[in-house]
Structure formats: structure tokens, C-alpha cells
Amino acid sequence: MPSGDRTGHYNRQVSTAESSDVSPVARATALFGVEALAQADRRASARHHIPSIVLMERAGVGAAAHIMARYPTGAATVVCGAGNNGGDGYVVARILADAGWDVQIAAPRGVRPQTADATTMATIAHSIGLKARTLTPAMLEGDRLIVDALLGIGSRGAPREPVASTIAMMNHATGPIVAIDVPSGIDADTGVVAGAAVVAEMTVTFHGDKIGLHVEPARAHAGEIVVQDIGIPRAVRSRAAGWLLGEHAAPAPPKGDSANKYTAGAVLVIAGSPGMTGAGALTARATLRCGGGLTVAAVPSQVQSLFAEQVVEVMATPVPDHDGVFGIASLDAVLAQARRVAAIAIGPGIGRDPRTSAFVRQVIDQTDLPCVVDADGLWHLGARPGWLKRRNAPIVITPHSGEAARLLDCDRTQVDAQRLASARSLAKLAGGVAILKGPGAIIADTTGVVCIDAIGTSALATAGSGDVLTGIVASMLAKGMDPLTAAATAVRVHSRAGVLAGHGDGTLAGDLVEHLPEAISE
């Protein structure tokens, strides 16, 4: 079973699916859609005269090599479907058997190879004594490795019978599962899991990495992902569908030798209400730990002293309030502070008092600075806040799936089931950049470009983690980064800090803040 912490669970081999696009974020890895990769296969055959069966042989040989390097069991049941994914499986079975493994080939009841290449590979396997039999639970007993070669990247929707029950049988077995190209039952373009889907420990995917493998809920089914080159020429290029943010992607700009506190990035944090000053304090500390030169906090007068005690390096400015919460009476003082800075963060701990809604909207409307909106700030945007599009300056919103559902006026389950589409919809709705938080955080802009966090760690599932992310985004915006790059850099740094904190499930948001400098310097 894949763990909740995916650190180190991505292994990129040399891939020939190099994008014709320029990466929007430095050192990000291209991710591809199904049609782009299928087109590359067709061009390899049409332009370069590489028979498709040669590509299938290379795929199977490569997958078998990864299996033998990773697993010492020496026994495997290879479950093959009717298409070319099944053909890959017959090659894997043959290579493992030649290496001395105890190999069985199985198929769902009544399923036979249906493509010419798969039929050829099945015939070769049969010739050396590897005949496919109908899968039974007995063939999956013990610690036998299970190789999933049922459904390929062209599969859409919920698997039908008998494949669906076969997937359920595989998932109930005790042995590890290695998926060939993609886990059967997941959508390689969207990450949607519409029905039964294999839960793999490792996925060996071919030619180029698939975007859907990195998007929840499919991400939880893929396990470790290995990209295997199958010999498609580099002249056959594919257009990227998205970009993966690994440990060294999206580097943050360092302070220059001649920097001062303003040129290093000055941020205004608008935060706080009775009982909720800690969120804004985490945001403010994060802006400084990310190399920001100056952070000013606009805080309701009633709670200013409590806020100031938590972060001595921040200029905590009291502003007029309404019983401790922001309201229209707070606006002029906050706008005056905005003239001192290069970016704004609004929302952490401001509460959901109705009097605060008009204030939040006026701040966003009346400032021409890059702005990141999070937490309760998102609440005050209202449902379907299309009015954000008329803002001239960059805006970044950072919802989790519950907040996203309110903004999109849909159910949370819909957001969780279709995270890629939801992130893109949020960006278009806001007229800016959206970070859809959660496992494999997704960053999207209005053009449809997406970046996906490859680091991911369950350590981030702690109160205040989102407030830290808000501070990182604000700091990057204040340094002059474009909003997509600022958001991508922030997500990568945030995830890496969670790993570096080293406290696992016991990680606190404050631990993340203290490890931000190290995450950035790497």
C-alpha cells in the first residue's frame, strides 16, 4: 500500500517525451496527457518506422527490470487484459520467467488478447509454457508479486465486469502490486477514479509521465512512480499537460548583497480577531523566514497586544475595529499600511463576522498590489466570486477542498473527485492563480497551466499549515515573482519544510516555519 508521505516516491528515468513547451517554473518536470503520448507512439511508427511491437517489447523488458531490481520474491502472477497493456504484461511474464522466477499468467474470465501485438506476445509466452489461465484467488496467495496489466492509459470510466471483480480480487491479496503504465481503473488524464481501481505499490509508466498519476484520488493508487524510456526518438515531441514540482524545482530568489528590507520584499498581513491571533502570527513569521525584509501586520486594536507578543520582528499595527473584528471602519488604516509594502496577505484568523465581508472586498478592490487570500478571507469572498476578475493586480487564492466547494458552489465530494478540473475552475473564477491544497497540491492559472506538488507529506495535515503557506506565497509575491511561479515556489518550499521538520505525524505549523530557510537554501 502507498504511504501517506510520498517523499522519495518519484523516480524519473530518462524520458523521450520531452515537452515542446517551455516550463513555466524552473526545474519542473513535464507531465503528459494520453493523446499526446499516443500521438508520439503513432509518429514513432509513421515517421521513424519503429514497429509498435518493438515499443511493446521495450516496455515489457524495462518494466521487468524494475520489478527484479525492487522485489526479491522470485514469484509473480501477471494479470493481463485484452489490449496492449495486456501485451506489455505478457512480455513482463516472459522476461521474469527467463530470469528464473516462478511465473503465472492470469486473465479475467473470458478475456483474450484483442490486438495484433498483444496476440503475438501472448503466443510467444505460450510457446515457452506460459499459458494464460482464468484468475482465481489461489493464484494470488502468499507473498507472490502481482503485476497489473489489465487496463491501459486509454481506459475511461468505471471498469466493467469481469475486470471490476478481478481488480477487487487483486486488491484483497496480500502480495505487492506493480502496475504497468497506470493502475487499472484510474483516468490517466484527470486522476479521476470512477469505480474499482488497482492500488499499486509501484507503477512503471512508459515514455513520459502521466498527469493523472499525480492527481488525487488516482495518486493514492499509483505508489512509487518510475518513468521508463521505451526508445521513442527525441524528435517525436509531446506537448505538456502540466508540470511536476520536485525537491529542486521552483527555486526561490535569494536576497541580493545590496538588498534592504524593502527590496527583499515587504508584506502586509491582514489578520486576527478575538481568539484567533495565532494564525496571522504564523503567516507573518513565514514571510520573514522566507527571506522577506519587512512584514507589517494590520490587526484589530482589541487583539493587537496579543498578536505583538507572538512575533516581535513584525510591526503589529492596531487598526480601528468592530468589537475586535475588521469592518469598514478598519479600511482607511489598512489601506494606509498597504502603501508601505509590495504584497498583501489577507484572511488568517479574521473570523466570519458578517461585518468583515465588505471590508475584505474593499481591500481587494482598492489595492493594486499582488494579494493572496486564504482561510476566512476566502469565506468573505462569497460563493462564485466572479467579481475578483475585475481586479487589475495579481491575486492568488489558496482553498482546501471545503473552501473550494463553497467558491465553486458545489459539493466537497465533487471537488475531491475532480481535483484537476476544480483547480482550473477556481483559477478562472478568481481571474488569477489558485492553489488547491491537499495531497498533491495543484496550482492553476487562468490559461489552464497546472503545476503539481511531487513532494507531499502527511506532516502538512496540521492546524496552521495553511497559514504558513499563505505567508510563503506573500513573501514570494513581494519579491516580484509572477503569481504562478510564486505559488509554485511556495508550495514546493512548504512541502519540503514539512519533510525537513522530521516530526512526522507530530509536526506542528511552527516546525514548518523554522525549517523554511533550509527548504529554500536547498
Is the pLDDT at 257 greater than 90? The verdict is no
What pLDDT score does 14 carry? 40
Average pLDDT on 87-102 reads: 98
What pLDDT score does 59 carry? 97
Q: 264-275: per-residue pLDDT in tens?
A: 799 999 999 999
- Helix residue ranges, H only, 326-479: 331-338, 355-366, 376-379, 401-408, 412-417, 419-430, 465-478
Is the pLDDT at 4 greater than 50? The verdict is no
Q: HEC profile for 137-202?
A: HHHHCCCCEEEEECCCCCCCCCCCCCHHHHHHHHHHCCCCEEEECCCCCECCCCCCECCCCCCCCE
Average pLDDT on 182-198 reads: 97
The two counts, helices (H) then strands (E), for the chain are 18, 19
What pLDDT score does 21 carry? 66
The mean-pLDDT minimum among 180-184, 250-254, 302-306, 333-337 falls in 250-254
Residue 448: count of CB within 10 angstroms of its CB: 12
The mean-pLDDT minimum among 227-236, 400-409, 424-433, 435-444 falls in 227-236
Q: 292-348: per-residue pLDDT in tens?
A: 989 999 999 999 999 999 999 999 999 999 999 999 999 999 999 999 999 999 999
What pLDDT score does 136 carry? 96
Is the pLDDT at 1 greater than 60? The verdict is no
Q: 115-165: per-residue pLDDT in tens?
A: 999 999 999 999 999 999 999 999 999 999 999 999 999 999 999 999 999
What pLDDT score does 8 carry? 35
Q: Give me the sheet containing 202-206, strands edge to edge.
A: 10-12, 224-228, 202-206, 177-180, 145-149, 75-80, 102-107, 133-134
Chain mean pLDDT for the chain: 93
What pLDDT score does 72 carry? 86
Short-list 493, 392, 490, CA closest to 434: 490
What pLDDT score does 386 carry? 87
Is the pLDDT at 74 greater than 50? The verdict is yes
Distance, in Å, from the CA atom of 60 to the CA atom of 298, rounded to the nearest integer, reads 60
Q: What share of the chain is helix, strand, coil (3-state, %, to 5)?
A: 40, 15, 40
What pLDDT score does 241 carry? 95
Which grid cell is 504?
Answer: 512526522
Average pLDDT on 476-489 reads: 96
Distance, in Å, from the CA atom of 33 to the CA atom of 153, rounded to the nearest integer, reads 9
Is the pLDDT at 260 greater than 90? The verdict is no
Distance, in Å, from the CA atom of 57 to the CA atom of 38, rounded to the nearest integer, reads 17
pTM: 0.92
Average pLDDT on 356-365 reads: 96
Half-sphere exposure of 450 (CA within 13 A, CB side): 30
Residue 102: count of CB within 10 angstroms of its CB: 12
Q: 418-439: per-residue pLDDT in tens?
A: 999 999 999 999 999 999 999 9
Distance, in Å, from the CA atom of 321 to the CA atom of 162, rounded to the nearest integer, reads 64
What pLDDT score does 456 carry? 84
Is the pLDDT at 259 greater than 80? The verdict is no
Is the pLDDT at 20 greater than 70? The verdict is no
Beta bridge partners of 134: 107
Residues in the chain: 522
DSSP state of 352: -
Is the pLDDT at 17 greater than 60? The verdict is no
Average pLDDT on 78-89 reads: 97
The DSSP line for 463-480 is TTHHHHHHHHHHHHHHTT
Half-sphere exposure of 416 (CA within 13 A, CB side): 8
